[in-house]
Structure 1
Amino acid sequence: MRLAAPRLLAAATLAAILSAPAARAASTPDEQARFLAGLPVPAGSPLAKLEEGASWKAHQKAMDDAWAKLSKRLAVMDGWAKAELAPRIQPNAKLLYLFGGPDAVTPLCLYPDAPAYLLAGLEKVGRVPPPEELKPKALENALSGLAEALRTVVPASFFRTDEMGHDLRGDEIDGVQPILYLFIARSGGKILGAEHIEIDATGAAKPKADGEKWGAGTPGVRVRFQREGHAPQEMIYVRVDLGDAALQKKPGFLTFARAYGNANAFLKAASFILHDNRFSKPRALLVEQSLSVLQDDSGLPFKVFEKGGWELTTFGTYLQPKPPFQRAYQKPLIKLFAAEPARPLPFKIGYRKDADESNLLLAVKKPATAAATAAPK
C-alpha cells in the first residue's frame, strides 16, 4: 500500500493537468470585454493571471458598486419598456441613436430586440489592444479611466463629452470602444468580434486593419455580440460632426445612415441641437428614416410632429428646460402633455435629476406616412 499511494497521487495529478484548460497566447475580444467590465474570464485565458492582481480586484469592486446602482434604474426602465414602449413600436427594428455617444446601455435596455444599433457622437473611437500585452502602469490607468467613466454616467444618466475625453484619454486602451465592450458585457452580451471601419464619401463602410491609420472618411467601430435568447446583434459607433457644414464636407455618413434603412430612433440629452437650423440635415434624416422616435424634449423640435402623420404618446412631466436651454421652451408641448394626460414615467432621463421632472415623447409614424417617407433602396 505504501508503494501504491505515490502512483495514485501521480495519476491524480496527471488527470488534473490533462483536464485543466490549456493557456492561450492571446485573449479574445469577449475575454477583453469581461476583463474591462470587471467580470471573471475563463481559466485558460491569458487575462486570468491579471485578474489575480490587486489593481484588477480593486477595479472589479468599483465596477460592481457602480453597476449595482445603475442596475436599479435599468430594471425600472426595462419594466417600463416592456409595458409601454414595445407594444407601441416595431421592437425588432434597427435602432438609430444620434448624439448618443458611447451610451450603449440605454438602447440595450429599452430596445433589447433590435438587430442592429447605430450610435453617433463626437467622442474618439478608441481601441482595445490585448490587455495582457500592456505595461502594468498603462493597464492600471486604463482601468481607472473606465471606472471613472462609469461612475460619471450613473448619477447623470448620460455622458458628458468633455468628461469622457478626460476619463478615457489613455495611451493604450481609450475612447468609446472599451465603453461599448463594458456595457455589452455587463448587459449579458458575449462579444463575437469587433473591427474598426471607415465610412468613405460614397457611404461604404470599409474595414480597417489593426494599427492602420484613419483616412479622410468617418471613423467608427462595429461590434458583433449575442445575448441569451437573442440572435446575434451588432452595434456600430461612428465619430461624426452632425452639423450641416461638417456633413457638407463629409457626406458619406448621411448616405451610410440612409442605407441603414428605416429604424426606431432614440434621443436624449441632445442639447436641443436639432432645434438649430444648422443641424437641418440630421433632423431631416430622423424624420425620413424613423419608424418611431422616443425622445426627451431636447431632441427633435415638436413642430416636426405637429404637421401630422404621427401617433403621439406622452410620458412624465414637461417643464421649462433648465439653463442654459430655457429658451427652448415649447408651448405646444405644454398643451400636449396637459391634453393626454401624460402617462407615468418611473425613471429619470436626460438632464433632469428626478423622475417626477422627466419627460418622454413617443412619436410613431403612421403607415401612410411611413410609406411616403421611406428611403429608396
Structure 2
Amino acid sequence: MKNFAARKIAIAGLIFAIAQTASAQPPPDDTARFLAGMPLPKNSPLAPLTTDPAWQEHSANFERAFAKMNRRQLLKLHAWEEQYFPEAREHIPVAFYMFSGPDFLYVDQFFPKADVYILCGKESMGPPPDPLQTGNLGSALHNLEEAMNSSLRFSFFITKDMKVDLQSQELKGTLPILYVFLARADKSIKDVTYGSLSAGGEFQRSHPGNGGTPGVRIDYIDNHSGQQQTLYYFTTDISDGGISSSPGFLRFCDHFGVGCSFLKSSSYLMFEEGFNRIRDFILDHSKTIVQDDAGIPLA
C-alpha cells in the first residue's frame, strides 16, 4: 500500500514538473518580438536573452533593414494606394495569397483589414520556434536574417535560396519568418494552433507538421486598429495534380466564400496548363485581385 501511495506521489510530481516546464515556454507573441529584434516585456522568459550581444546585433540589423525597406518600398506603396487603390481601406472577409510562402508582409499592406488571411506554399512551416531551446543563438539569428534578406531588399523570396535557408538553420521553416513579419507589422499574437486539413477541408488540431496538409492558425490583434484577425499557413501543392491528391486545401478555402486575392512572384505558374484549378478558384472567389505580371494572364 505504501509503495502504491509513493508511486502515486511520484507520478503527481512528474505531472507537476511537466506542467511547470510547459508553462515556462515563452508566449508566441514574446517569441515573435524576440525573433523580430523588438523590445520584450520585462517579465518575459526571453528577456534575459536580450542581453546577449548576438541578439543585440540581430536587433540592430533588423532595425536598419526594416527602416530601409519602409523608406524604399512601403511609404511609396502607401502613397500609391491612397491615390489608386482605395480598396485597401475596405474591410473584407478573407484574403487569399496562393504561392505565398511566408510573405505575409505584402498581403497585409494591400489588404490590411481582412478578417482572415490564407497563405500557402511548398515550404514547410517547421517546428514551433523556441529561442530557449536554440543551441547556437547567434548563428540561428544570423541565418534567420539571411533567409529574409532577399524579401527585405527586393520584396520577394528567391525560391531556390529559401529552400536551403529554411532547412539549414535551427529556426527552421516558414513560421519564424511569419512571426517576424507579424511583430514588425505591429500585431500581437494571441494564440497559435497547429493542425492539418481533412479531405473535406476541416481544420483539425494535430502535432505540428503532421497530417496530409499540415498548417497553422495564428490569431492576433492589429494594435493600430484593434481588429482581431487570423492568419492560416498551409504546406501544400496547388498544382492540378497536387489538388487531386490532397483536395482538402481548396475545400477549406471554399468555406470562406468570396474575398480578395493577392499574387506576387508566382513564377508564371498559372500561365501553364498544370495550374488550371487554382487559377479558376482565384477567379471565382475574388472580388479584387492584386497581382504582378507573374500572376494570372490577362488574355
Question: 1:263/1:180 Cα in 2 relative to 1: closer, same or farther (>3 Å)?
Answer: same
Aligned partner of 1:107 in structure 2 is 107
Aligned partner of 1:85 in structure 2 is 85
Aligned partner of 1:225 in structure 2 is 220
Map 1:263-302 onto structure 2 (within 5 A).
Answer: 263-302=259-298
In structure 1, the gaps of 5 or more residues are 1-23, 304-377
Q: CA deviation at 1:208?
A: 1.6
Question: 1:116/1:291 Cα in 2 relative to 1: closer, same or farther (>3 Å)?
Answer: same
* CA deviation map 1:1-26 (0-9, x unaligned): xxxxxxxxxxxxxxxxxxxxxxx833
Aligned partner of 2:184 in structure 1 is 186
Q: Secondary structure at the match of 1:168?
A: helix
Aligned partner of 1:141 in structure 2 is 139
Aligned partner (choices 258, 262, 269) of residue 262 of structure 1: 258
Aligned-pair identity in percent equals 33
Q: Secondary structure at the match of 1:60?
A: helix
Aligned partner of 1:116 in structure 2 is 116
CA distance in 1 between counterparts of 2:186 and 2:88 reads 26
Highest RCO, 1 vs 2 (Cα 8 Å, sep ≥ 6): 2
RMSD across aligned C-alpha pairs, in angstroms? 1.8
- State whether residues 88 and 110 of structure 2, in contact with CA within 8 Å, keep that contact through their aligned partners in structure 1: no
TM-score, with length taken from structure 1: 0.69
Question: 1:213/1:100 Cα in 2 relative to 1: closer, same or farther (>3 Å)?
Answer: closer
Aligned partner of 1:361 in structure 2 is none
Aligned partner of 1:350 in structure 2 is none
Q: CA deviation at 1:90?
A: 4.6
Aligned partner of 2:3 in structure 1 is none
**Bigger-Rg structure (1/2):** 1
Aligned partner of 1:335 in structure 2 is none
Aligned partner of 2:4 in structure 1 is none
- State whether residues 102 and 176 of structure 1, in contact with CA within 8 Å, keep that contact through their aligned partners in structure 2: yes
Q: CA deviation at 1:62?
A: 1.4
* CA deviation map 1:333-370 (0-9, x unaligned): xxxxxxxxxxxxxxxxxxxxxxxxxxxxxxxxxxxxxx
Q: CA deviation at 1:171?
A: 5.7
Q: CA deviation at 1:173?
A: 2.0
Q: CA deviation at 1:264?
A: 0.4
- State whether residues 196 and 206 of structure 2, in contact with CA within 8 Å, keep that contact through their aligned partners in structure 1: yes
CA distance in 2 between counterparts of 1:226 and 1:242 reads 29
Question: 1:197/1:81 Cα in 2 relative to 1: closer, same or farther (>3 Å)?
Answer: farther
Question: 1:116/1:105 Cα in 2 relative to 1: closer, same or farther (>3 Å)?
Answer: same
Question: 1:271/1:115 Cα in 2 relative to 1: closer, same or farther (>3 Å)?
Answer: same
CA distance in 1 between counterparts of 2:258 and 2:92 reads 12
CA distance in 2 between counterparts of 1:83 and 1:225 reads 29
CA distance in 2 between counterparts of 1:253 and 1:88 reads 26
Q: CA deviation at 1:63?
A: 0.9
Q: CA deviation at 1:192?
A: 0.7
Q: CA deviation at 1:260?
A: 2.1
CA distance in 1 between counterparts of 2:172 and 2:239 reads 25
Aligned partner of 2:175 in structure 1 is 177
Question: 1:76/1:93 Cα in 2 relative to 1: closer, same or farther (>3 Å)?
Answer: farther
Q: CA deviation at 1:158?
A: 0.7
Q: CA deviation at 1:200?
A: 1.5
Q: CA deviation at 1:242?
A: 1.1
Aligned partner of 1:208 in structure 2 is 206
Please tell me the residue identity of whatever aligns with 1:131.
P
Q: CA deviation at 1:89?
A: 8.3
Q: CA deviation at 1:205?
A: 0.9
Question: 1:120/1:199 Cα in 2 relative to 1: closer, same or farther (>3 Å)?
Answer: same
Q: CA deviation at 1:153?
A: 1.1
- State whether residues 142 and 168 of structure 1, in contact with CA within 8 Å, keep that contact through their aligned partners in structure 2: no
CA distance in 2 between counterparts of 1:271 and 1:116 reads 25
TM-score, with length taken from structure 2: 0.87
Q: Secondary structure at the match of 1:127?
A: coil
